[in-house]
Amino acid sequence: MALVKSRLKIFLVDDDPFCRNMYLQHLENLGYKDITCFENGADCLAHLFLKPDVIFLDHSMGTLPGLTVLKKIKLFDPDIHVVFLSGSANIITAVKALKSGAIEYIVKGINEFENMTKVLSRIAEIKAS
């Protein structure tokens, strides 16, 4: 699993610098090294050529909503694992995200670090098999 962890390329997309830095620190503490941060969906989309394995994607971001970005990511490469992050426990948004291809929907402020760790373990298992 450590080998997979060191090889995972992660994008972190959140317009809130506090959240972005907090999640970055958590991922680094877990031992992930190849992490690229973006403050908006457009910048993330412009860098998909870097072929990330995992994208943590905020729901509410400026002019390009997370759901729109998610759909464009999946059009570019359906094998990218997208984890949706939201400050809202809105079931309708969660269902839309999962139906659009997100592997997980994590609500900010409700065990998000534990949930991020769990989903990364799941993705590492998928990548290792």
56 neighbors 24 (Cβ within 8 angstroms): no
Q: What pTM does this model have?
A: 0.92
Walk across the sheet containing 34-38 and list its strands: 34-38, 9-13, 54-58, 81-86, 104-107
- Give per-residue pLDDT as tens, 95-115: 999 999 999 999 998 899 999
The domains located in the chain, with CATH, are: 2-124 (3.40.50.2300)
pLDDT of residue 3: 47
The answer to whether residue 32 scores a pLDDT higher than 50 is yes
Rounded distance, CA 60 to CA 79, Å? 23
| pLDDT classification of 88: cutoffs 50, 70, 90 | confident
The answer to whether residue 1 scores a pLDDT higher than 50 is no
- Closest Cα to residue 121, out of 54, 49, 22? 54
**Terminus-to-terminus CA distance in the chain, angstroms?**
11
